[in-house]
Structure 1
């Protein structure tokens, strides 16, 4: 179950709801999962996750428009996590925010093609990813996964309509206790909020113990 911490200059109140499936699913799939069926667009024999996000023609065009370094586009990666790690190591953190935004919109575009038979042009997706509509309150979803002795975290910033405003991610070459990993992602979420000049935010996590410690047990957590 997800815990939500509302922030407006300082942490003020908290509630809990299930994690948003599209947001949580996006990061969970990004780090560890592969597909096991043909690509519905280009007919590749096996559509892996790295193919869907990097090698598929529309996805590659979107990333090229974003001026992603050719070394990160042309190198073959057996797993998506390896590609994401290289991107995070190579790019400046501010650029990683734009990269995650673009990647999320590209993923949504693929799903629109699979489930609705509609796909937008790469330029349209890129232009949308560069627009940051103003909003008073945003939702910050952060999650952590420990995989192959590495701790990976991701942060996505959405407005009230679910539009992705930004995001980021990082990894450490070590196993971390869950609470420490969640706290690390929480801190990175704060940095992203400040970089986007957001005055009010709701942080969403599935780590109840972290919420309890942040709130100093001053308010009850309601599980829905």
Structure 2
């Protein structure tokens, strides 16, 4: 009784025992074939924890409808009252009027939009819906929808939900105009955080070197380009090596090539920029790192002693296009090349765009 409960335990005790009957065996009730599976056990535990809820008929009918998945999801939103009505928006922004813009007396709740609004009422009457469904008093919209599902057949209920989805989509489009959300012709009321996604010029007298790497089979290529505070190209290097290493080690090799290139040009103030966030974090780390990568970084940092000022910064990949293109250029041409101001024409548009911005 303690395991199965009073009702189920009583039913078990009433099972007749036959001496010549079949041998007892265990079956898993929650699987139609009677076989236990981990998946069915998790499903059973989830249902036991969450429960079917008071509207299980509506949910079962909804997921069995022969309609688009987005219509089923809309019905789920409808049942959980998470559609954009003025009453919902008023809970977020107190300066918004929560009354129905068409009727002007009652608050625009989901039940009001779907049933109680005079315009919605007229549509339901014209559609020939049951008077009990139209005139009945409901506290929540989901209760009305479930009664609607019990009264209509599957095809009629599917058509009803599809039509309501169209109405709600038109309502959302109206809200987009009212609140200027994602409206390109109006200033947004909820401004998006603007992130500047352009290559940034270095300070006066500083040379910025962007570097990057890419891999193609067992080969890796690197590219670096150096520019001054006006965005003019001072030089660069692109090359290919027969190495098959992880991304951080490849970026580290590109950094070493960048330092070597800067040393040949006698530049003193440098800013190294990469889109590899892990490498930049390693380079800016102040604590001792006893890993293999940390030891190699310490060796490379010693090469910076001849320079007076050095910094390492991270940039978005879209801000490192020149170095990225040089990597691909080196792979295609299978060569290693240094250049000064006569950089490859393939990166001219990128350099010009970065300089203008």
TM-score normalised by structure 2 residue count: 0.24
Larger Cα-atom Rg: 2
Tell me which protein shows more strand as a share of its residues. 1
Higher relative contact order (CA 8 A, sep 6+): 1
TM-score with structure 1 setting the length: 0.37
